[in-house]
Amino acid sequence: MPRELVLGNGSFLVNFDGNLNMRDFYYPYVGELNHIGGSKNSIGIWSEGQFSWLDETSWERRLAYKPDCLITNVTAKNDAMGLALVMNSTVHYSDNVYLMKMAVHNLRKEEREVRIFFTHDFSIDETEVGDTAVYNPTLNAVYHYKRNRYILVNGRTKTEGIFQYATGTKRFQGAEGTWRDAEDGILEGNPIAQGSVDSTISFRLFLPPRGEQVLYYWIVVGENFTEVRNLNNYVLEQTPPTIFEKVETYWQRWVNRHTFNFGNLTPEIIELFKRSLLIMRTQIDRKGAIVAATDSDILQFNRDHYCYVWPRDGALVALALIKAGYPELTENFFLFCQRGLTEEGYLLHKYNPDGTPGSSWHPWICGSKPQLPIQEDETALVLFALWEYYQRVRDLDFLQSLYRNLILPAADFLVRYIYPELNLPIESYDLWEERRGIFTFTTAAVYGGLMAAANFARLFADGSKTEEYERTAQQLRKGMLEHLYDDSLGRFIRGVYIDQEGNLHRDLTLESSLFGLFEFGAFEPADPKVIATMQAIEAGLRVKTEVGGIARYTDDHYFQKSRDIENVPGNPWLICTLWLGEWYIACATAPEHLKRPLQILQWVARHALKTGILPEQLHPYTGEPVSVAPLTWAHGTFVLAVLKYLEKFHQLGWYHQLEW
């Protein structure tokens, strides 16, 4: 199930599914470690002997965010119980505090007692072994701990704090967990449990006829008991209403700190643009990791997740943030990449949010021949994005160490990692991580990375490196024309493979990532060869259903939903569809040429979740999200496409609403 609500501050992140269960709880890094791990923390309601969990079908739920901020605005109504809830949740922008306000409305004419239950299924540091859950009578709070992880839960009504509590064993020796204890409306009060444990707390409200009462509930997380005790005291002293006010003000000012003239963009596109900035912000760790996705449900399919830093994804998200006016958010990412760069000058497949190498399926050997298990475009695109950073910020002091420790070694690797007789890069894995060869996207990315490195070398008066990087980039462009363009097809191809005898074999698969031909500067978007390629992509990769969109490539098997390849070459991907829109924007020379990219932006806005979350891909027949959501790269690509649209819109001199 996609994560429809995400809240975070760069070191503490929580995700909720569409049934209002908290499904992911990350600390101390965004994406690492997950102390819920796809289980769930749930909310239960008891009144007059009747109990219901909030994720049951008897509740009518509506999920949203408050405008321009990272505060949820959720309603839930249960006619059978005669209750309606309004819930606002947030994570403090700097302190590791999750805070919820719940207003409980009595829909009946008589006074009633209502009890609200919160369950806590924590597996600290991603294992149930050795956890402790304990009630602290001094604080009237429950906390879970193991080693240097402490998670404290508490709350208050208008008149009192926690009403009842229970700690106990879960999923061991027949015990289900304390959540089961809640279903009779009474918690037994077991004060401590160790091992595989959970906890539940409750609050009591007395609702007047047709009236309401407000409850505040919070979770704080830290490295020791003193830290969580102090955070708990902070919430009590500052008061939850004051904290909500501060958080709302902070995020509204953050997302609106730049004034954009949005031209003829619809309110839905503008809202999604701002929401995408906020969502990206939650997926960026304070120490630099730009995490691909934090939706742990993907574990059901892959036994792995997207909680990694792919340098390519990170670089392209950084590019969007830089162009949107938030370059400071990307500085630690470039330092992250500098730390992760190998001595040879390349970046690995992916990294954990703490900077250590991530899991990989790329081997170091093929047969008896050693090989590098890399996607070379990842190294190149970090350089490409870094030049955009400099153009925006002009911070030479920041770049000095990066020039020596990141730019030069990475660019020198790109120069070395080439077949000089072909003027093409040596084989690496493609951006989809599925095949090894020499690919057009990778070659175009290396071109862009080398030209960026040449610009840096010129900036630092390094004439020999400037000439070397520029010369190599131009040789790559020559190699692309010679080997990666097919005269009979009249377009560029996905790539080539080299057999054991040294013969080249062309992969003619129609591939959406060919947009990189112009995106990274190797060719002009209006080059006839690029035009023919992009037109072929639109014709051949368009999903011919009511959903529409562009597939990654012909016969894409990843989460494949249809074998009708002629009409459904693959599931529609949001980033691939936006790439087509970016090409139309780049080619536009008159206002009417912006009609098609505007339609694509509207298409993306229509297929976002109601909360503004963008998934990786869509079901080709239902439009439902497929794979992870939110995908940070999708939000970054949408922001980048909107910015390019606005730049071209104003460049063409149209400042009034266009009627198309």
pLDDT of 656 above 50: no
DSSP-derived pairing of the beta strands 418-419 and 424-425: antiparallel
CATH number, position 14: 2.70.98.10
Q: What is the pLDDT of residues 625-646, one digit of tens each?
A: 999 999 999 999 999 999 999 9
In a domain, 156, yes or no: yes
Residues 154, 17 share a domain: yes
Which residue, chain included where needed, has tokens 């009747």? 50
Domain membership flag for residue 620:
yes
Task: Judge if 146 and 272 occupy the same domain.
Answer: no
- Each residue's pLDDT tens digit, 416-474: 999 999 999 999 999 999 999 999 999 999 999 999 999 999 999 999 999 999 999 99
Q: Is the peptide bond before 208 cis (omega within 30 degrees of 0)?
A: no
Q: Is residue 261 very low, low, confident or very high in pLDDT (cuts 50, 70, 90)?
A: very high
Contacting residues for 447 by C-beta, under 8 A, at least 6 apart: 380, 473, 476, 477, 480, 520, 521, 522
Assigned domain for 124 exists: yes
Dump pLDDT digits (tens) for 564-584: 999 999 999 999 999 999 999
Whole-number average pLDDT of the chain: 97
pLDDT in tens, 143-188: 999 999 999 999 999 999 999 999 999 988 878 899 999 999 999 9
Tokens of 81: 């119980």
23 and 102, same domain (yes or no): yes
How far apart (Å, rounded) are the C-alpha atoms in residues 5 and 278?
12
Q: Is residue 508 part of a domain?
A: no
What pLDDT does residue 1 have?
66
Of 238, 263, 296, the position where a domain reaches its end is 238
Residues 275 and 223 in one domain: no
Q: With contact defined as beta carbons under 8 Å apart, do 351 and 358 qualify?
A: yes
Concatenated DSSP letters of 440-483 = HHHHHHHHHHHHHHHHHHHHTT-HHHHHHHHHHHHHHHHHHHHH
DSSP annotation of 402: H
CATH for 265: 1.50.10.10
Contacts of 450 (CB under 8 A, 6+ apart): 380, 383, 411, 414, 415, 469, 470, 472, 473, 476
Asked whether residue 549 falls in the same domain as residue 645, the answer is yes
The DSSP symbol for 281 reads: H
Integer Cα distance of 617 and 629 in angstroms: 9
193 and 50 within one domain? yes
Collapsed DSSP state (helix, strand, coil) of residue 77: strand
Cis-peptide into 28, omega within 30 deg: yes
In this structure, are 173 and 223 located in the same domain? yes
Q: What is the pLDDT of residues 393-405, one digit of tens each?
A: 999 999 999 999 9
pLDDT at 657 over 50: no
261 and 234 both lie in a single domain: no
Integer Rg of the chain from CA: 27
Alpha-carbon distance of 638 to 579, in angstroms, equals: 9
* Strand arrangement, sheet containing 164-169: 50-53, 43-47, 112-120, 197-207, 164-169
Is 192 buried (19+), middle (13-18) or exposed (0-12) by CB count in 10 A? middle
Same domain, 207 and 264: no
What is the tens place of the pLDDT at every residue in 525-569? 999 999 999 999 999 999 999 999 999 999 999 999 999 999 999
**pLDDT 10s digits, 366-377:** 989 999 999 999
Asked which of 181, 203, 238 is the last residue of a domain, the reply is: 238
How far is Cα 396 from Cα 468, in angstroms, rounded to an integer?
22
pLDDT of residue 50: 97
Of 125, 179, 171, 170, give the one whose Cα is nearest residue 150: 125
Residue 660: predicted pLDDT = 39
Side chain identity at 610, as an amino acid letter?
K
Query: At residue 659, does pLDDT exceed 50?
Result: no
Is 81 within the bounds of a domain? yes
Is a pLDDT exceeding 80 seen at residue 496? yes
- Rounded to 5 degrees, what angle do the CA atoms 527, 533, 537 make? 140
Residues 155 and 36 in one domain: yes
The confidence band for 658, taking pLDDT boundaries of 50, 70 and 90, is: very low
Number of domains present in the structure of the chain: 2
Q: b or e along 215-247 (b: 16 or more beta carbons within 10 Å of the residue's beta carbon)?
A: bbbbbbbbeeeebbbebbeebeeeebeebbeeb
Last residue of a domain, one of 238, 267, 301: 238
Read off the pLDDT of residues 21-40 as tens digits, 9 standing for 90 and up. Answer: 999 999 999 999 999 987 99
3-state secondary structure of 171: coil
In a domain, 610, yes or no: yes
Q: Please state the three-class secondary structure of 148-168 as a single string.
A: CEEEEEEEECCCCCCCEEEEE
Q: What average pLDDT does this structure show over 238-267? A: 98
Q: Which residues contact 575 (CB under 8 A, 6 or more apart)?
A: 631, 633, 634, 637
Q: What angle do CA 346, 351, 357 make, to 5 degrees?
A: 80
Q: Residue range 237-244: average pLDDT?
A: 99
Q: Is residue 364 part of a domain?
A: no
396, part of any domain: no
177 and 280 both lie in a single domain: no
Which residues have CB under 8 Å from 329's CB, separation 6+?
A: 281, 284, 318, 321
Residues 6+ apart with CB under 8 A from 401: 338
Enter the pTM of the model. Answer: 0.97
Residues in a beta bridge with 570? none
Rounded to the nearest 10°, the torsion over CA 618, 619, 623, 628 is -40
Neighbours of 420 (CB within 10 A): 9
Nearest to 231 by CA among 245, 249, 243: 243
State how far the Cα of 327 lies from the Cα of 214, in Å rounded to an integer: 40
Domain that includes residue 614, residue range: 255-284+543-660
Position 297 scores a pLDDT of 82
pLDDT digits (tens, 9 = 90+) for 197-213: 999 999 999 999 999 99
- Round to whole Å and give the CA distance between 51 and 365: 59
Shared-domain flag, residues 208 and 263: no
Name the residue among 304, 368, 329 with its Cα closest to residue 627. Answer: 304
Q: What is the pLDDT of residue 300?
A: 59
Of residues 519, 520, 517, 498, the one with CA closest to residue 507 = 498
Contact criterion met (CB below 8 Å) for 162 and 191: no
| Sign of the alpha-carbon dihedral angle for 124, 128, 130, 136 | positive
